[in-house]
Amino acid sequence: MSTEQPLPVIDHDSAPYWQAAHEGHLDIPLCGDCGKHHFYPRAICPHCHSDNLNFDTVSGRGEVHTFTVARRPAGPAFADDVPYVVALIELEEGPRMMSRIQTDDPEKVHIGAKVEVTFVKASDEITFPYFRMT
Amino acid sequence: MKNGRDPVIVGLADAPIEDGKFVTKASVLGHAALVAKAAVEEAGLTLDDVDGLLTAGMWGVPGPGQLATVTLGEYLGIMPTYVDGTNIGGSAFEAHVAHAAMALREGYCEVALIVYSSDQKSLRSRNLGGRPSVLSMQHETPYGMPTPVGGYAMAAQRHMHEYGTTSENLAEIAVATRKWAQLNPAATRRDPLTVDDVLSSTMISEPLHLLDCCLVTDGAGAIVMTTAERAKDLRTKPIAVKGYGEAHTHWAIAEMPDLARLLPAQKAGETAMKMAGVSHSDIDVVEVYDSFTITVLLTLEALGFCKIGEGGDFVSGQRTAPGGAFPMNTNGGGLSALHPGMYGIFLLIEATRQLRGVCGDRQVAGAETALVHGTGGTLSSGATVILQKD
Ligand SMILES: [Zn+2]
């Protein structure tokens, strides 16, 4: 990974999520009213608009909903990574999130592939949840 | 029921480009001003007649919201009393037509000017990254998402998975669009193109190849609208704005409700066609945003020209090419004519020219009703306009 990888600008909505990822678990908001998880973290539930939300540690398991193999980098910071797989992961708990699939063979990635989270430290503050096929 | 305040298009202009770059030497605002002046003069008006100003762009004095209409109004030396800086991506201009139409009907303005300009090609300002990693983009940009092509690639991948759509299906769109460009002297890419050429072009973001992607060019365009009553004294034959609709769903691609269905187009299209009182068989010419080949496929399905999942068959056999059953993107589109970042205004300009009947070799015979649909962001927003010859 290039050292110039753009890092997230953490805000009040996302701070607990990034903190948890840094500690090695995947925490996303769970609504106390409708009982649904959501991602990315917000101050109100996008399903029922309740603000009765708490972060919940989820399984880290899911499947590839869709993906692309980037053959051209998203700017110079990613030039060394090409080809790499950017995917939308559908978590077992429902929400979708963007991440990377860690693989030696991008051609093996397919829609529906089962994946689990793996954490990759990027800086003293930031650890990214990536996924691996299981 | 005709009304004197019914909205019509009376003026058009676009800037000449060569090899994708502006021919005239001027700043990005200079090009906006030159096309604005040309469009009002075509109608027999002057910039002093303009009281409604609508624009969107990626230029601006850095700062809060960039204040696009304010910056442009100052440059033009006018004091508009109705403004709209709606920016929902490349579909912004179809939304501008809708908003101007409402303002004209309401008597809130008399002459509305819609303008776009970009010198992105000359500036070499484009790469596949670049969205700052803030707000929802903090969950996208760090993963190296190629923007915007990666989101379109993910939608294409999903459409292929669900419906068996192929890269050959997508290539048919690029090839048909190139054939229209070959009939348009102003188009940037006019060399012959085959399905094999598209499939063997560089893979950018799987499954989208280089030739599934729009061009990167400069470009500037302007549209002048007024009321049917005012148009009687003007120089051009007015083209009526009969219906419009708009919608958006997401900015981050992970938030797109259904990666294989373009909900904003479905919603906007239904609204616009209902308002205009037209059905699919009434539409003679279709201009839809072709940022990528997959954009067209998703749009045609969502607008109801074919069933969801059947877009691949619909575009096969060069049905959208000159002489085909479904004339579409008749200037050569964003894929082959020009694509200056936000292309939507050029869809409107081409549709209006088709209805005026001034398109020369690429003229669609008997074109009376046109459907224009813009798509913006990463399949984020959609806006439809139905235009009709009076
Ligand atoms: Zn809820």
Cis peptide before A40 (omega within 30 of 0): yes
> Looking at the 3D structure of chain A, how many domains does it have?
1
Name which CATH class applies to B146-214+244-389: alpha beta
Confidence of residue A2 (pLDDT cuts 50, 70, 90): very low
Residue A54: give the domain boundaries. Answer: 15-133
Nearest-CA distance from A98 to chain B in Å? 6
Taken in order B17, B150, B293, B388, the sign of the CA dihedral is negative
* Of residues B133, B202, B259, nearest to A9 (C-beta): B133
Domain-located, residue A8? no
Supply the pTM of this predicted model. 0.98
- CB spacing of A84 vs B144 below 8 angstroms: yes
Which value does ipTM take for this structure? Answer: 0.97
Contacts of B89 (CB under 8 A, 6+ apart): B342, B375, B376, B377, B380, B381
Taken in order B192, B196, B198, B201, the sign of the CA dihedral is negative
Domain range B7-124+218-240, its CATH number among 3.40.640.10, 3.40.50.970, 3.90.1150.10, 3.40.47.10 = 3.40.47.10
pLDDT recorded at residue B65: 63
Domain-located, residue A129? yes
Whether the per-residue pLDDT at A3 is higher than 70: the answer is no
Q: Which of B200, B206, B253 should one mutate to test binding to chain A, selecting the residue with the greatest count of A CBs within 10 A?
A: B206
Domain-located, residue A76? yes
Contacts of B323 (CB under 8 A, 6+ apart): none
pLDDT recorded at residue B60: 78
Residues of A in contact with B207 (CB under 8 A): 68
Taking only the tens place, the pLDDT of each residue in B225-265 is: 999 999 999 999 999 999 999 999 999 999 999 999 999 99
Domain-located, residue A71? yes
Measured distance CA(A120)–CA(B240) in Å, rounded: 57
Find the mean pLDDT for residues B98-109.
Answer: 98
CA dihedral A68, A71, A74, A78 (to 10 degrees): 110
Measured distance CA(B278)–CA(B325) in Å, rounded: 19
Domain-located, residue A4? no
Residues of B in contact with A76 (CB under 8 A): 127, 129
Is residue A64 within 8 Å of A101, Cβ to Cβ?
yes
Taking only the tens place, the pLDDT of each residue in B179-200 is: 999 999 999 999 999 999 999 9
Taking only the tens place, the pLDDT of each residue in B40-63 is: 999 999 999 999 999 999 887 777
Measured distance CA(B22)–CA(B25) in Å, rounded: 7
Nearest-CA distance from A39 to chain B in Å? 9
Nearest-CA distance from A93 to chain B in Å? 15
Is residue A99 within 8 Å of A87, Cβ to Cβ?
yes
Domain boundaries, chain B: 7-124+218-240, 146-214+244-389
